[in-house]
Structure 1
């Protein structure tokens, strides 16, 4: 461990050792030095330069804990080790911010569970091919366990009713959990699913229907309808004359007894209101 004496203008941290490279401090030395830095952190005002210096040094000094915890997950999935270390660092920072010296507990005893918990949460929240609510992610695990238990006990695949009884859920909730399980893994549209004549394997995309162009139009109309209802009668009349009867702005002005410029302003204002409303609901 290499340190040097702090000199110069007093900063409130002049009694601390200056570490040339906090990340290179050996774990044993880091444990002892962390106590000194935590003592100082407790008396410094949060948000000050001195507070940030001490806090950042604690983070750098204890990165070996993150690397140790992250090593347990090496190869657990396809994620880069750097990503896992980055997530684990969030757990380390939380541990530093919540560590209480008065509880007489070793910092490592608090930090490692925080780091591991953050990494596990990362795996849990990013392991699904599509976003699925947390309750359904948990229901999937319970469903798998219940299915295995009943299959062993009954010697056959359990029914939805039997699973619902064991899991203390309704049958609809069991079905919902089964459907949600489909989001755990994804498959490429280019994945081969079977032979197609002499042209080679068929891709999954060959069995999926094309997108209906009318679907997006229907969704747009469905979103637009309540927004139109919020407009006053004159605004809806102007939009009808412009986009249904296809009158010009001058013709609309004559129809309503207002100027073409006024029509233009009303059209622009209402179209912007509708556009914003649709974007907000996208």
Structure 2
């Protein structure tokens, strides 16, 4: 709209100028090197305008000729990139459709046209996974680690490949790194927590859970439940070695999840052993009312030898 208004204003100005000159006729005489040129003012102005237009066109042509190599190179790069993205699209769609041959063809074309594009490495990795070539898939995922936008995807891919190969330590390392870089990721947090628990590092497992909660990767209800499970697991592990700490962990677990059977059972046993029979009975009764379970009945029975739940 603005361009149209400007064009109309320019045309109006030209028309006004032409009319103004036509109303004021005159002659121009040019004498130079023995030559004498006579003409009217309108004709002289028209000739000057035509000469200026010719100069402008010549300047454009010269600029085009001078810049043609750069323009051709830019066009070629753009065309190459477009074809590369088309190959990537075909390859990813082929992976989704289970067409291995087409995926490999698209992968090779994308690698030729876009060798440094992170998604090219993703297509190569997924194609290798489809073919069952774990080494090639891992190599492609490692190349993806260098690009920030594909780093977490690469860590997940390397984690999965390590698990398939039975390399537990490597799988754990990839999961831990992913959990540090992207705490909200469920798969990374779950795998890292599982590994920490396997080592008996329950404090470390809770720390990972706290980071996941802070990153809003889990809702509060699920967070409370999982924290309760971790506390109960630690209480069970410490029940004999450190009853005082175990009792503290167990009671906190019950506070978070009163119906969690392992938490209530270990809390009942530990509180009973410390002489707090009333509190132990209250916890066990509440848990049994919500979730009747033999472990709760057994723990209650042992509060007073000879009693039954």
Structure with the bigger RCO (C-alpha within 8 Å, sep 6+) is 1
Q: Give the TM-score, by structure 2 length.
A: 0.25
- In the superposition, the TM-score normalised over structure 1's length comes to 0.27
Q: Name the structure where helix makes up a greater proportion of residues.
A: 2
Higher-Rg member (1/2): 2
